A and B are shown apart, each in its own frame.
Chain A
Amino acid sequence: MDYRIDDEVAALRAALLTFLRERMPDPGAEPGPDERLAAWLELVGSEWLEHYTTGTGDPAERVSALHVAEAFGAVPVTGPVDVVAGYLLPLAAATGWTAGLDRLRDGSLVTALVPGLDTPGRDGVPRRRAERLPAVRDGAVRVTGRLERVPCAADAHAVVVAVELDGLPALALVETERDGVAVGAPSGVDLRRPVADVTFDDAEAAAVHTATDLVDREDSSAAGHSLFLDAEAVGGGTEVIARSVEYCTGRVQFGRPVGSFQAVRHRLADVTATVEGGRSLAYRAAWDLAAAIPSAAADVIASRLWSSAAYLAAAEAAVQCHGGTGFTWEQGVHRWYRAAIAGRGGADLAAARAAVAAHLRLLATGPTGVRVAAPVGAARRAG
């Protein structure tokens, strides 16, 4: 891997940061539904959500896209940014779903559940698989079932649902205002993306899409979404550290800035190193994924584990280093802290660890299942 962030990519991220800071409402101010939807319309119209989709082929472009996406972590934005930019747009583009792309681009707020990690198979390769709801043809295509914890569902105009139709995997776009669709009350710690359960009872789909390689495309797009979350994590982590440094430089106690105390500065230095490690790992995983390196799927999971932990550590350090003000709503550190908690909680730690363990087993035994290296001490015991 040989890559540098060039001036053009740095300028892109700076432009996105400026746009988000100037145009997007602060989730901490708890904007109402109309304000959130207006902001979403403007964000979609700006086409910044589509930038991430440009970086799915070439390794260097993929890393560049990740770098730019860090801005979405630095500036908390209401709406399913990660779902749309990180998953739905790349998936629709990869599978040639024109109607889906049109809907995602018309300013509607469309959301979905991104496929989670499946139980590792014998080959040890991690895969992400959607839970598919049953769909039937009855004049129109109708969907029945329940999706839990769908991001931003309460604001959504439509939900993209993974379905099984005629015995085959498919995607169904279902309008939330249709008969048979019930959206539960929003909840969750993350102010940007409150989640809600969505129930479909013979609900008519507005559009249906299928492709021969849909399941594989869902898998690769979900891995890309995982990297998008990593980008948000390192962007958010970097932002809260920068805010903490600024606060600790200005805040004076005992006649000196609190940032001059080693207990404060060292903690911030520690989390900086951790976040930077997360950034490097995410870039590497993105490169490997685009370059189709065999271990890329496992690297992406390791990156999610690292970045989500690093973000949480940075956000906790930020709250602590801000002292009493870190606990206040007005100061606002809690916005990133909430995002970090949600990110760690959404990392599906048990499944991620199981997937990494399966990958390690594969490394130890090889695809034949025969152990490559003898266990330590085996020769001695045999003697």
Chain B
Amino acid sequence: MDFDLDQDHDDLRKGVRGLIARFDDEYWSACDSAHRFPTEFYQALAEGGWLGVAIPEEYGGAGLGITEAALLLQEVASSGAAMNGCSAIHLTIFGMNPLVKHGSAELRHELLPRVVSGDLHVSFGVTEPDAGTDTSRITTRARRDGDGYVVDGRKVWITKAQQAEYLLLLTRTTPLEECAKRTDGMTLFMAPMDRSAIEVREIPKMGRNAVNSNELFIDGLRVPASCRIGEEGKGFRYLLDGLNPERILLAHESIGIGRVAVDRAVTYANQRVVFDRPIGQNQGIAFPLAEATMRLDAAELVARKAAWLYDRGRPCAREANSAKYLAADAAFFAADRAVQTHGGFGYAVEYHVERYFREARLMRIAPISQEMVLNYVSEHVLGLPRSY
């Protein structure tokens, strides 16, 4: 690794920072309370060319790596946008990975330039109510019908389904009991969001309210075979390619939330005077913020290493999982301490740290729970027996 400042990365961060500076805490608070998608922010990033940062140049993107995408998202999170900002663009920036790697040339040329321009929203349709983390148990079924497929089933926690024009949809084309391996028999589609066949219900939730989460009820959705990504039955393998990058990106987003939480807390602790001195002079205030900073520093190093490994095509599952876990924990600790530092005002919307707190909490659950990361490390890093 090289700890010297990378000028390109520094320029990238400054560029993003400058572009999104006008979307301040008040903007994000307003989007959050109104449950309004941050369209202006999304368009600003599209016009600046940032949405295509990790999409190949031949489709209009910048063709950069996960490291650059991660730095971009960390910068967005640490601006105060937190997950409201990151989730709005996260899938656009890297969720198209299966399409880039395994989609047909026609599909790529048709859709990817629209993704880069910000014209096309895509949702990720994998999770199901009765499958959860055990993806092999999904039951949304795609049946061959002439030159296409007919899909029936349910999906849950589908981000941005209210805006999406397409759904990157994982289905079962072969029932689980007929498959040699549990992960066989699943097929991935870039399915059009035909709302006559898909009912979308928003899920009320604790935070990240500018970006909707939804339950989908799919009933007789027709999907042309040309919208299939790669071969039938290999959909899960195509998704696997994206799991480590997703964890790396989410780790950086967590770190961004943690950073802004500490920044706001430090500012407040320097200004707020109680018992004739700034409250930051109390060790009970200062030390937890110092600890939060060190935890974030440590998590950031692991996250950066994971991104570095991925961009060089090296195995990075250990580091990606570790980064996700450490960063989520560090971010939550930082956000919690930021609320505590603000005292009663930490609970008030006006100071924004409660929003960071709500969104940092999410990171210990998504995209994978901390417990599943521990399962991964126990089994695949330490060689212990599988526990589930």
Q: What is the interface of chain A, defined by CB distance below 8 A to chain B?
A: 261-263, 266, 381
Which residues of chain A are within 8 angstroms of B282 by Cβ–Cβ distance? 262
Which residues of chain B are within 8 angstroms of A261 by Cβ–Cβ distance? 283
12 A-B contact pairs sorted by A residue (CB < 8 Å): A261-B283, A262-B282, A262-B283, A262-B284, A262-B287, A263-B283, A263-B284, A263-B287, A266-B283, A266-B284, A381-B129, A381-B130
With A263-B283, A266-B283 given, can you name 4 additional A-B contacts, CB distance below 8 Å? Answer: A262-B287, A263-B284, A263-B287, A381-B129
Chain B proximity of A269: nearest CB distance (Å) = 10
CB within 8 Å of A: which of B103-157? 129-130
CB within 8 Å of A: which of B248-305? 282-284, 287
CA distance A261 to B283 in the complex (A): 7
Chain B proximity of A366: nearest CB distance (Å) = 26
Closest Cβ neighbor of B130 among chain A residues: A381
Which residues of chain A are within 8 angstroms of B129 by Cβ–Cβ distance? 381
Chain B proximity of A330: nearest CB distance (Å) = 29
CA distance A261 to B282 in the complex (A): 8
Which residues of chain A are within 8 angstroms of B283 by Cβ–Cβ distance? 261-263, 266
Which residues of chain B are within 8 angstroms of A262 by Cβ–Cβ distance? 282-284, 287
CA distance A262 to B130 in the complex (A): 48
Closest Cβ neighbor of A261 among chain B residues: B283
CA distance A261 to B284 in the complex (A): 9
1/0 per residue B67-90: CB within 8 Å of A? Answer: 000000000000000000000000
Q: What is the interface of chain B, defined by CB distance below 8 A to chain A?
A: 129-130, 282-284, 287
Chain B proximity of A259: nearest CB distance (Å) = 12
Closest Cβ neighbor of A269 among chain B residues: B284
Closest Cβ neighbor of B284 among chain A residues: A262
Which residues of chain A are within 8 angstroms of B287 by Cβ–Cβ distance? 262-263
Chain B proximity of A317: nearest CB distance (Å) = 15
CA distance A331 to B284 in the complex (A): 28
Which residues of chain B are within 8 angstroms of A266 by Cβ–Cβ distance? 283-284
Which residues of chain B are within 8 angstroms of A263 by Cβ–Cβ distance? 283-284, 287
Chain B proximity of A192: nearest CB distance (Å) = 35
Which residues of chain A are within 8 angstroms of B284 by Cβ–Cβ distance? 262-263, 266
Interface core residue of B282, B283, B287 (most chain A CB under 10 Å): B283
Chain A proximity of B279: nearest CB distance (Å) = 11
Closest Cβ neighbor of A380 among chain B residues: B129
Chain A proximity of B289: nearest CB distance (Å) = 12
Chain A proximity of B161: nearest CB distance (Å) = 18
Interface core residue of B129, B130, B284 (most chain A CB under 10 Å): B284
CA distance A263 to B283 in the complex (A): 6
CA distance A262 to B280 in the complex (A): 12
Chain A proximity of B202: nearest CB distance (Å) = 15
3 smallest CB-CB distances across A and B, nearest first, come from A262-B283, A262-B284, A263-B283
Closest Cβ neighbor of B283 among chain A residues: A262
Chain A proximity of B370: nearest CB distance (Å) = 19
Chain A proximity of B335: nearest CB distance (Å) = 20
Closest Cβ neighbor of B282 among chain A residues: A262
Which residues of chain A are within 8 angstroms of B130 by Cβ–Cβ distance? 381
CA distance A316 to B256 in the complex (A): 33
Chain A proximity of B282: nearest CB distance (Å) = 6
CA distance A263 to B130 in the complex (A): 47
CA distance A263 to B285 in the complex (A): 9
Chain A proximity of B293: nearest CB distance (Å) = 16
Closest Cβ neighbor of A260 among chain B residues: B283
Chain B proximity of A77: nearest CB distance (Å) = 37
CA distance A266 to B283 in the complex (A): 9
CA distance A381 to B154 in the complex (A): 11
CA distance A266 to B286 in the complex (A): 13
Interface core residue of A261, A262, A381 (most chain B CB under 10 Å): A262
Closest Cβ neighbor of B287 among chain A residues: A263
Chain A proximity of B178: nearest CB distance (Å) = 25
CA distance A377 to B114 in the complex (A): 39
Chain B proximity of A199: nearest CB distance (Å) = 33
CA distance A94 to B291 in the complex (A): 54
Chain B proximity of A255: nearest CB distance (Å) = 16
CA distance A353 to B284 in the complex (A): 33
CA distance A262 to B282 in the complex (A): 7
CA distance A263 to B129 in the complex (A): 45
Chain B proximity of A320: nearest CB distance (Å) = 13
Chain B proximity of A379: nearest CB distance (Å) = 13
CA distance A266 to B291 in the complex (A): 15
CA distance A381 to B215 in the complex (A): 12
CA distance A261 to B285 in the complex (A): 12
CA distance A381 to B284 in the complex (A): 46
Closest Cβ neighbor of B281 among chain A residues: A262
CA distance A275 to B40 in the complex (A): 54
Chain B proximity of A357: nearest CB distance (Å) = 15
Chain B proximity of A58: nearest CB distance (Å) = 44
CA distance A161 to B129 in the complex (A): 55
Chain B proximity of A268: nearest CB distance (Å) = 12
CA distance A266 to B284 in the complex (A): 7
Which residues of chain B are within 8 angstroms of A381 by Cβ–Cβ distance? 129-130
Closest Cβ neighbor of A377 among chain B residues: B129
Closest Cβ neighbor of B285 among chain A residues: A262
CA distance A363 to B282 in the complex (A): 45
CA distance A44 to B287 in the complex (A): 50
Closest Cβ neighbor of A264 among chain B residues: B283
Chain B proximity of A196: nearest CB distance (Å) = 32
CA distance A263 to B282 in the complex (A): 9
